[in-house]
Amino acid sequence: MKNTFLLLSTVLIILASCTKVKNTTTASISNDIPAIEQQVDVPLPNVKKPPYVFKINASESHELVTKTGSKITIPKDAFVDKKGNPISGDVEVTFEEFHDATDIILSGIPMNITTEDGEMGSFESAGMFNISGSQNGEEIRIDNNKTIEIELASFEEESDFNFYEFDKEKGQWIEEAKAVSVTENEIRKEAEQNLKELPPRPIEIKKASSNDFVFEIAVDKRNNPEFESFDNVMWRLADKNTESESLFSTTIRNPNLECIDQEKSIFRLTGSANKKKIKTRVQPVMFGSNLKKAQAAFKVKLTGYKKALEQKKEEEAKIDQMGKFSRSMALNSFGTYNFDRLYKVRKKVQFNALFFIPALKKVFKKGYLIQGKKKISIPYSRSGYYKFTFNPKERNTVITFDEDGNLYEFRADDFESLQNTKLTKDDEYTFRMRETGIKIQNATDLKSYLASL
């Protein structure tokens, strides 16, 4: 039996090809960073986004889908306990995914690596995730003869992102695969195809007044289906002037109506009269019992239209959360994984750094560099090995938090004076962090701040 868990309205899911994480080759990038600096360090535990927790039957196969359009495919009998014994019954699969600077900062997952030439480098991520499993609070594992397929949604189209696994014991990123292929996100594609067309907004028949200049038009109901259920529709000029009224002293040939303002029920009327082309604006009107019937029908149709409009907006909002692209990998163990490439800094300034908050009279050892148009997030922890590195050609901002979640910053314009100090690798610089008046209480708070940079 196969169960499908969906957090969005899609039906058909197309499996993408996967690369297995097994028998990996030696990484081309070394990871000799001190382990103490490479441990997961969540900066704001109370703000961390809640993970997806899927409760499933271990004896059945499953497809688990997240709001971003990521998919986890689990075969039946995929899990064992710590001793390697097969597991049956209900288990919990916990999944976290990280896609932007906000996600990465709040995750506390390190994003640093040492390049082949011994230089410190930072990752630019095309999507990162953490996956684990448990049964009755006890850790479970993936059977050695099974794999779990991950199709991680992504917002990055480039194909030069490698695949890494984070070794928590050593505090190192281990390269597992190079240049993982990127495909169109089939879940998002299916959702877009299933998005229903919005019906046209119903046209309100207006009430004619005694002062209106009204007239009849032979409406082609095939081209104007909104009038199909109405008889005795009259018309009045939307722009009252003598010149327009004179148009109707003779027969208008080949009249054509085009709605140009649905909310105000205004149509553009075109045709010809006396061998001249005419164009004016008109509104449909009625009197008496015909008007009451039309208004009642309009209210019913408008209610249905508003409901359909709201549903479409909700579906579009769901689609907007999904990555347009997808990268696939098959795993034989739980853990933290990342589709990454080295963030290349051609011209860089390096030095040791500390972060001083004058308002608190306190020095912090950890900060986050937000760099470039993509808002690349680079965590930094003070040590003799790890140098603070930034590109003076990019727009840079440094942020840090206190224990209460208050945000402090070293602004982009502050970097202009910093660039003139001619710092070297052996120098130390203390960032004087400014108060922002912003307290990070949820992920949206941080996302909004970063968007303002």
Mean of pLDDT values over 42-61: 95
What pLDDT does 188 receive? Answer: 98
CATH topology assigned to domain 1-185+322-344: Chondroitinase Ac; Chain A, domain 3 (2.60.220)
DSSP annotation of 419 reads G
Question: Does 36 have pLDDT greater than 50?
Answer: no
Identity of the amino acid at 238: A
Spatial distance between the Cα atoms of 69 and 328, rounded to a whole number of angstroms: 12
DSSP annotation of 86 reads B
**How many Cβ atoms sit within 10 Å of the Cβ of residue 184?**
13
Higher pLDDT pick, 91 / 273? 91
By DSSP bridging, strand 79-80 and strand 206-207 are unpaired
Handedness of CA 150, 153, 156, 157 (dihedral sign): positive
Query: 156 with 371: CB under 8 angstroms?
Result: no
Higher pLDDT pick, 116 / 52? 52
What pLDDT does 92 receive? Answer: 98
What pLDDT does 230 receive? Answer: 65
**How many Cβ atoms sit within 10 Å of the Cβ of residue 73?**
21
What pLDDT does 431 receive? Answer: 95
pLDDT digits (tens, 9 = 90+) for 119-166: 677 899 999 999 999 999 999 999 999 999 999 999 999 999 999 999
pLDDT digits (tens, 9 = 90+) for 297-314: 899 999 999 999 999 999
Average pLDDT, the chain: 86
Helix (H) or strand (E) holding 244: helix 242-246
Backbone angles phi, psi at 444, to 5 degrees: -65, -35
Which residue's entry shows tokens 């050695």? 144
DSSP annotation of 103 reads H
The SS3 of residue 262 is coil
Domain definitions of the chain by residue range: 1-185+322-344, 206-309, 345-453
What pLDDT does 37 receive? Answer: 54
Spatial distance between the Cα atoms of 423 and 427, rounded to a whole number of angstroms: 6
Q: Which two tokens stand for residue 279?
A: 């164009």
Q: What is the pTM of this model?
A: 0.80
Q: What is the largest CA-CA distance in the chain?
A: 95
By DSSP bridging, strand 52-57 and strand 335-342 are unpaired
What pLDDT does 155 receive? Answer: 96
Residue from 300, 302, 253, 261 nearest 283 by CA: 261
pLDDT digits (tens, 9 = 90+) for 87-98: 999 999 999 999
Higher pLDDT pick, 113 / 99? 99
The percent of residues in the chain predicted with pLDDT above 90, rounded, is: 56
Across 99-252, the runs of DSSP E, i.e. the strands, are: 112-114, 120-135, 138-139, 141-142, 148-154, 162-167, 172-177, 183-184, 206-207, 214-215, 234-237
Query: 163 with 123: CB under 8 angstroms?
Result: no
